[in-house]
Amino acid sequence: MSYCLGRRKIMAGSCCSTVEKTNTLAKIYNFLASLKVTIFSGICLAVSLTLILAGVNLPILSVAGVDIPIDPAWLAVLGSGFPLLYLAIRKLIFNKGILKISSSLLISIAMIAAISIGELFAAGQVAFIMAIGGVLEEKTIARARRGISNLISLVPELGRLIMSDTEEMVPVENVRVGDILRVLPGETIPIDGKIISGDTSIDQSIITGESLPIDKSVGDNVYCGTMNRFGAIDVKATKVGEDSSLKKLIRLVEEAEDNKAPTQLIVDKWAAWLVPLTLLIATITYLISGDIIRAVTVAIVFCPCALALATPTSIMAAIGQATKHGIIIKSGRALEDMGKVDTVAFDKTGTLTHGNLVVSDVISFDESSLSSNDFLSLVASAESFSEHPLAKAVVAHAKEQNIALQPVDDFKMIPGRGISANLNGKKILCGSEAFLKENNVMVDNSKLSQTQADGKATILVSFDDILIGMIALSDTLREATPDMVHSLNQNQTNAVLLTGDNKQAANYFAQKASISSVFAELLPAQKVEQIKVLQNEGHSVCMVGDGVNDAPALKTANVGVAMGSMGSDIAIEAADIALMGDDIAKIPYLKRLSNATVKMITMNICISIVFNIAAIILSILGVLNPITGALAHNAGSIAVVLNAASLYNRRI
């Protein structure tokens, strides 16, 4: 029988001969462990306590000669107690070694002891408090896996197969290595392959994170899941199915998710000695006093309810404070681990930078005869018919500068190369260095050296077959980035740049951000490998990214942080934390919040231990009985909750 035991939910496996029965028990468990049933149990306990304090005699139900009071606390015992008893038995049967002993076993022993002497309220109360802890734990630690399904949805289902000069749409799983597929503008490439015909520009940000479409021509490689932006191309399949880049990316996310086991409850860590210690003290108390009531009271107050609440309540308060600052924290483990981070790895585009290309330089090579504004007018006019992102950025810049556009005709776009048009009766070319050289325009490479060193994209422009200037475009560094990196360095935390962009752009922005460790031109798997290298060197790594290509790295890192506003849904789902305002300056704040949370958890554990020790002593002395012991038990839990709540409004 195979079970996946989470903090609250149990999923039955399929390798058991009694699967149907197991599924039924699992469904009952999950229903009774739900928030609605836990709330109902609390209401029943409140009614039961009211009746007890009012001195109301409960009606008696006689079953097989045994008188059973009809007490609302029975419903709390059933609703909150059954899941604990069920989980305790399952762990006893299926867990190995010391893991057989758990907090649920200790609570079950206390419940059974209380029920055996007719103290239903006390039995229901300890079960109810543990149920609350379980609900809080589920809310703060459970991880969503929707990102994987979103990734899978990016894989095209059909491909246009070329066979004997005919086209046929076929399922992608039927495509074999060596097959020829035609990909039209606007379509997603269904396989990894090599272009054998046509020129185009490919948006491959899903794989590399690069902000610009990449010009591709015959002999260039293309990847599954990337978007063909402009020209029609024929591609020879080199990797298909599970071997494709996108499928490998999906597997990386799944493997990283599986490798992150859920954090074990602190009460379960201590249960190995709590259970025998409880039984020992309760037995000694009974043997010395001869009073079974005292022994049962010891078992009740020994239950680690306040200890169970110490971690989840502190984490809930911290998550609430983070939410006020525009930060979504999806698990308590991530919050705790953030304080241990000593290395923060950043993606570049959309993370350290805004992710939007803007015109940075308008350069006329002969200012005396053609001013920068006149040159910009020529280029923007020619590019006004183009759908390329660079062209749109140039036109937008011209409009911001109130530059008038001129009429053009005979516009042509050459995918992966550039555009040509007629303006004032003369031919204008705008595009790459290779495009102008193909049209017999002389290009002086020295004029490009500085912009290339700065990692900028360039549009070269010729007018009447003479090179007249160029326009450089660049992403822009987020204003908060340098101060954020400086703050991390002051807190003995190293910053590392992991990007799919070219080395020139990576080095340029790393220098502006004061980041010394740079790894450029990385595919998703290479980002994962670099993070693993850092982890193997003993570093605790936080990865900050925004794109689909960052998802495996976000999952592999000790803590993953996604840029929430402009980041992809898949990156956000893969991450442990999302910055909804894309305010990267919040990274140092996250570390401070994590440290404060860990201190609060430690303090709450100390409070819970002090309350438990005091209650145990009073129970041994006979000062407390099961009901007053249960109420004292509640006092410890309330103290922990109130102390944790103070974290919500604390200045971090």
- Annotated active-site positions, please? 347
Tell me the sheet residues that pair with 284.
none
209: left (phi over 0), alpha (psi -120 to 50) or beta: left
Give yes or no for a contact between 300 and 629, defined as CB atoms under 8 angstroms apart: yes
- Closest by alpha carbon to 643, among 604, 611, 592, 589? 604
- Closest by alpha carbon to 137, among 332, 424, 341? 332
Give yes or no for a contact between 188 and 222, defined as CB atoms under 8 angstroms apart: no
Helices 245-259 and 524-536: angle between axes, nearest 10 degrees? 30
- Determine the Cα–Cα distance for residues 170 and 540; give it in Å rounded to an integer: 46
Give yes or no for a contact between 139 and 33, defined as CB atoms under 8 angstroms apart: no
**Is residue 488 classed as helix, strand or coil in its secondary structure?**
helix
Going by C-beta distance under 8 Å and a sequence separation of 6 or more, which residues neighbour residue 592? 652
259: left (phi over 0), alpha (psi -120 to 50) or beta: alpha
- Determine the Cα–Cα distance for residues 246 and 182; give it in Å rounded to an integer: 19
Q: Checking DSSP bridges between strand 418-423 and strand 409-414, what pairing results, if any?
A: antiparallel
- Determine the Cα–Cα distance for residues 485 and 198; give it in Å rounded to an integer: 44
- Determine the Cα–Cα distance for residues 478 and 513; give it in Å rounded to an integer: 9
Q: What angle (nearest 5°) sits at the alpha carbon of residue 342, between those of residues 341 and 346? A: 85
- Determine the Cα–Cα distance for residues 636 and 646; give it in Å rounded to an integer: 16
Give yes or no for a contact between 591 and 492, defined as CB atoms under 8 angstroms apart: no
Give yes or no for a contact between 432 and 411, defined as CB atoms under 8 angstroms apart: no
DSSP letters, 266-302, are HHHHHHHHHHHHHHHHHHHHHHHH--HHHHHHHHHHH
Report residue 307 as tokens. Answer: 């200890």
Going by C-beta distance under 8 Å and a sequence separation of 6 or more, which residues neighbour residue 294? 285, 286, 619, 620, 622
Report residue 174 as tokens. Answer: 């039927």
Give yes or no for a contact between 546 and 568, defined as CB atoms under 8 angstroms apart: yes
Give yes or no for a contact between 145 and 6, defined as CB atoms under 8 angstroms apart: no
Number of other residues whose CB lies within 10 A of the CB of residue 535: 15
Q: HEC string of 395-432?
A: HHHHHHCCCCCCCCEEEEEECCCEEEEEECCEEEEEEC
Q: Which strand (E) or helix (H) includes residue 366?
A: none
- Determine the Cα–Cα distance for residues 133 and 425; give it in Å rounded to an integer: 78
One-letter identity of residue 31: F
Count of residues in the chain = 652
